[in-house]
Amino acid sequence: DAGITQSPRYKITETGRQVTLMCHQTWSHSYMFWYRQDLGHGLRLIYYSAAADITDKGEVPDGYVVSRSKTENFPLTLESATRSQTSVYFCASSESPDSSYEQYFGPGTRLTVT
Amino acid sequence: GQNIDQPTEMTATEGAIVQINCTYQTSGFNGLFWYQQHAGEAPTFLSYNVLDGLEEKGRFSSFLSRSKGYSYLLLKELQMKDSASYLCAVRDSNYQLIWGAGTKLIIKP
């Protein structure tokens, strides 16, 4: 299916475990983003990528790792999950960060760390 | 620091008009976006403003005043399906989106 997909949609994991959230887009957008959304906060940028093999930190990168070996995929890994990382994670993509190009969001992954 | 303020929650009546305000203080300005987010779903794009003035899109309009650091989203002829959160986001000097916490809009019959 065309668009942007995320997997899994729901995940429960234990403190200290490593977990990877997947993101896949079919538009060949150059830019991809990972956000977390928590009650009372706006979306907060974790990492972003301008192209394959180019990634950069956002506002809240600590405890997360990303990679982008292919344009269409942008996985996010929590190296050692903590309860504070319980959140809803959204992946997004965009043709460009400039001008009026909006970001398109995936359906989200709801992660619970116990 | 960078800051975007929106009311937390608003209530309106079906068929009425509602205005959702957004004020911002950011390092640089490269456009302002409004997104709609239904509960449990992803944000979807509604509007974009980069110049002062009003942009109209059907029942939705968005206004921007850069000198005042202010925008509003105007929703007309409210429908029950408009019950959602409305997110204001500003693209800063680094071309990153800075997001407000969102305004939850409740529509009553």
pLDDT, position A39:
87
pLDDT, position A99:
66
| Residue owning tokens 């800051």 | B3
Provide the pairing of β-strand B3-5 with B53-57. unpaired
* Cα A22 versus chain centre, distance: 8
- Cβ distance A43 to B96 less than 8 Å, yes or no, reads no
User: What is the average per-residue pLDDT within A47-76?
Assistant: 95
For A35-39, A102-106, B90-94, which range has the lowest pLDDT when averaged over its residues? B90-94
Percent over 70 (pLDDT), chain A: 97
pLDDT, position A1:
59
A64-90 CB burial, b ≥16 within 10 A, e <16: bebbbeebbebbbebeebeeebbbbbb
Is pLDDT above 90 for B2? no
* B97: nearest CB among A99, A100, A103: A103
| Residue B93 banded pLDDT, cuts 50, 70, 90 | confident
Chain B residues at the A interface, defined by Cβ less than 8 Å, are 4, 30-31, 33, 41-45, 48, 50, 87, 89, 91, 95-102
Reported as a single tens digit per residue, the pLDDT across B16-75 is 999 999 999 998 999 999 999 999 999 999 999 999 999 999 999 999 999 999 999 999
Would you call A58 an interface residue with chain B, using a CB distance cutoff of 8 Å? yes
| A 69-98 → B contacts, CB under 8 A | 90, 97-98
3-state secondary structure of B81: helix
Provide the pairing of β-strand B70-75 with B60-65. antiparallel
pLDDT, position B99:
95
3-state secondary structure of A83: helix
- State which amino acid sits at residue A60: V
Reported as a single tens digit per residue, the pLDDT across A1-31 is 579 999 999 999 999 999 999 999 999 899 9
Percent over 90 (pLDDT), chain A: 87
CA A54 – CA B20 distance, rounded (Å): 37
User: What does pLDDT average to over chain A?
Assistant: 94
Is pLDDT above 70 for A105? yes
Is pLDDT above 90 for B94? no
